[in-house]
Chains A and B, each alone.
Chain A
């Protein structure tokens, strides 16, 4: 293979700026730019910048409105733990506390009250590899934000109806060895907004919910209500 010329490198500025190169090619281009004469690297940078500014203007032709729930979820995610608690948040903490009581030994931690060291939730939110996945649960929604680097996740349930009396929602982390319980929530624990943290995701690829009788089961005994892929 011949050594690529500067001209060939500059030709790649447009596809590079449009994210129309594979990850391998992007890395290769970055290496070539680092080794290229500074004038070539500057010309490449100018071209990329012009494409990005142009496409930012073009974005005014493809606007669409997200749901109001998304705004609430995003703003709630960055709210400082030290800020005065609004009423729903107090409720969420109250329900989280209820979760703790029901969960001793289950490995499900809970959003901690404000303190100096970052909570698991804060660590997850600030993790560069944080990902988010949402699925309907009953008439509400369950969202998990998780980080493989932190080996943890934050579960937020919005407007999920409480389970019937005498039953609980049970969460299962599913990996190669099948499901393991990630805790339960009884009717009193489920509030309009309920948060909990999930520790030790390890190699689990899925968070699933079932309704279980009494205080929970060792293995799922009813059909899965919702599955959130953790990939």
Chain B
């Protein structure tokens, strides 16, 4: 379940229309999803200029590849946010070098739950539920997700950074994700 079922169905229907070149459907799809996409991208990039450029690339990729989306393989929102996250991570890795990269990792290491931005378009209930589930992780688990998912580090880099061995980091990531998945009731 990603968001209210209604949204999920709506997005599927909109994407089918976008695949046929429907500009109005594309505008509606953008309006329904922009705050999640931009919010995720800026959470990774921490710069509004880079984030707008990346968000633009994401939506133009949606326009170009909407016909590739297959609802049997996952939700439209997961498809979109996977694309957005991949582009944000690629951008971080290509922009960052040496000491700047290190300082970005520092910036990424903040409490996710306290970084919530309000958005009237998304039910407060769901936001609260996510915040609660994030709090339910151990500090070590949350740190792994923060450094990797928001900081753009590979699991090998996370392992070096935390001076923990690779299999420990992989287990922490897996356990964190399973914990979140169960807590959020994702099938």
Contact = CB atoms under 8 A, between A and B. Distances in A.
B127 A60 contact: yes
- B contact face: mostly helix, strand, loop, or mixed: helix
Contact of B52 (A67, A83, A125, A145): A67
Interface string A58-84: 111111111100110111011110010
Given A12-B170, A53-B2, A71 B34 contact: yes
B117 A132 contact: no
Contact of A64 (B38, B134, B148): B38
A52 B81 contact: yes
B15 interface: no
Interface string B13-47: 00000000101001100110011101110110000
A134 B155 CA distance: 32
A56 B77 CA distance: 6
Interface residues of A, number: 52
A14 B149 contact: no
A62 B39 contact: yes
B113 interface: yes
Contacts of B112: 61-62
A218 interface: no
A181 B94 CA distance: 28
B2 A75 contact: no
A77 B149 CA distance: 30
A17 B64 CA distance: 23
Interface of B: 1-3, 21, 23, 26-27, 30-31, 34-36, 38-40, 42-43, 48-49, 51-53, 55-57, 59-60, 63-64, 73-75, 77-78, 80-82, 85-86, 89, 94, 112-113, 115-117, 119, 121-123, 126-127, 130-131, 134, 145, 148-149, 153-156, 158, 167, 170-171, 173-174, 177, 180-181, 184, 186-187
25 contacts: A12-B170, A14-B170, A18-B145, A20-B173, A22-B156, A50-B177, A52-B78, A53-B74, A54-B177, A54-B184, A57-B3, A60-B3, A60-B126, A61-B127, A63-B36, A66-B52, A67-B52, A70-B34, A71-B30, A75-B26, A78-B60, A126-B64, A130-B57, A133-B53, A134-B49
